[in-house]
Structure 1
Amino acid sequence: MHRRTACCLAALAALAGAAPSLAASGQQGRWHAIAPRRLALRHAATGATFSGTWHNGVVPDAGAMRELSAVLADSRTGAVRPFDPRAIEILWELGERERIREFAVLSGYRTPGTNALVEGAADSQHLRAAALDLLIPSARLAAFGAAALALGRGGVGVYPARGFVHIDSGPVRRWGEVSARRAPAEDRLSRIAEAWAATQR
């Protein structure tokens, strides 16, 4: 029994010692997969920010998700709903691909009242705290929209004239100026920038 325990400990020590050599040789895919994931964002309407580790590489951090849910609260009422980790995962993945250090969020969770005020779709993913409207610099917007579409996860709406991209963790679909045919219900999001200003008065 003692011998078996000793063998196990030796094997673990060997694995621990191998980690640096794997990194040095460039064979670090498996180790990278469990690396902590960081994210930085600010809400354009409220000024609330989050910056830090939101995922330990295996599961989302519960405390960080509570913070993110507060930052992404309804900008008109301050109401908070637990945000969908899958939507945050999509956001993080896009940040990694496009090398964006901090996201500016135009809209996260929306209450039914706020959603109606901005003429959002009746079944909007914003109502489920599963959608984000992101302000993206015009020079990077096309590439960001293409990267979001390439993920093949959730909904993507691109609005170059208004400088924002919508992403969500709902069914895979596209609208706005990323396809010839627009989805009428979701196209109402194109007026969100103007409607947001009205909610602040």
Structure 2
Amino acid sequence: MAEQKIAGISRRSLLGAFMATAVVATPTYSNAAGFLRGSGDIRRVKMYSARTGEKIDMIYWVEGQYIKDALTEISGFMRDWRQNETKSIDPRTIDIIAATHKLLDVNEPYLLLSGYRTPKTNAMLRSRSSGVAKHSLHMQAQAADLRLGSRSVNQMAKAALSCHAGGVGRYSHSDFVHMDCGPVRTWGA
């Protein structure tokens, strides 16, 4: 096949020149999460705690890499506030939380009811409620109980279930959804 010429320049040469210009003009944003807000391959978590008054709006993943300092800050936010103890939250749980939020297409932050729990806190909550598991994944820093004012428990649970990534519990009477990175399963009404 003969090469097409446009004003003395081949089509292949013209495309090559265009691509070279585009590559040179493309900015690089390595380690610049601030520039990537709202674009590119990023993951973000947005929550607040009525118990502590704290808020978090954090990009924790950029271009295929977790941001270590962001994960540390998220773990501190999701600490057992009753005992003031922190354990590193499993990034898979954070991913499920963020993916569900994105699927729900809301800007409202989650209300975090419970993240990491010490065994002491879990035992205390278990003595008050039959809905608290003896071997809860909260104690492994692999679970969160969350609420959104603009979405129902069923809407949140359906979005979390569509991730096919862990356990999803509906607590309609208490108006929250449990999300964890354990085996895929569902419970509650």
Instruction: Give the TM-score normalised by the residue count of structure 1.
Output: 0.70
Cα shift at 1:129 = 0.6
Contact 2:45 / 2:94 at 8 angstroms: preserved in 1? no
Distance 1:141 1:18, change over 3 A: farther
Contact 1:110 / 1:126 at 8 angstroms: preserved in 2? yes
What is the CA–CA distance in structure 2 between the aligned matches of 1:121 and 1:12, rounded to whole Å? 57
Tell me what 1:110 maps to: 117
What is the CA–CA distance in structure 2 between the aligned matches of 1:11 and 1:171, rounded to whole Å? 49
Q: Does 1:122 pair with 2:134?
A: yes
Q: Secondary structure at the match of 1:133?
A: strand
User: Is there any run of 5+ residues in structure 2 with no aligned partner, and where?
Assistant: 1-16, 28-38, 127-131
Tell me what 1:159 maps to: 171
Give the CA RMSD over aligned residues: 2.4
Tell me what 2:184 maps to: 172
User: Is there any run of 5+ residues in structure 1 with no aligned partner, and where?
Assistant: 1-9, 21-31, 178-201
Q: Secondary structure at the match of 2:117?
A: coil
The total of aligned residue pairs comes to 156
The alignment-based identity, stated in percent, is: 35
67, 73, 79: which is aligned to 2:85? 79
Q: Does 1:45 pair with 2:86?
A: no
Structure number with higher strand proportion: 2
Greater shift in the superposed pair: 110-119 or 146-155:
146-155
Deviations 1:116-171 (A, max 9, x none): 01113122110011100002337532211111122211100001121100000011
Tell me what 1:26 maps to: none
Q: Which amino acid aligns with 1:80?
A: T
Instruction: Give the TM-score normalised by the residue count of structure 2.
Output: 0.74
What is the CA–CA distance in structure 1 between the aligned matches of 2:54 and 2:169, rounded to whole Å? 24
Q: Secondary structure at the match of 2:121?
A: helix
What is the CA–CA distance in structure 2 between the aligned matches of 1:169 and 1:84, rounded to whole Å? 8
Q: Which amino acid aligns with 1:87?
A: T
What is the CA–CA distance in structure 2 between the aligned matches of 1:139 and 1:103, rounded to whole Å? 10
Cα shift at 1:95 = 0.8
Tell me what 1:192 maps to: none
Structure number with higher helix proportion: 1
What is the CA–CA distance in structure 1 between the aligned matches of 2:180 and 2:18, rounded to whole Å? 43
Cα shift at 1:100 = 2.6
1:1-201 to 2 correspondences below 5 Å: 13=20, 16=23, 35-101=41-107, 102-119=109-126, 120-137=132-149, 139-177=151-189
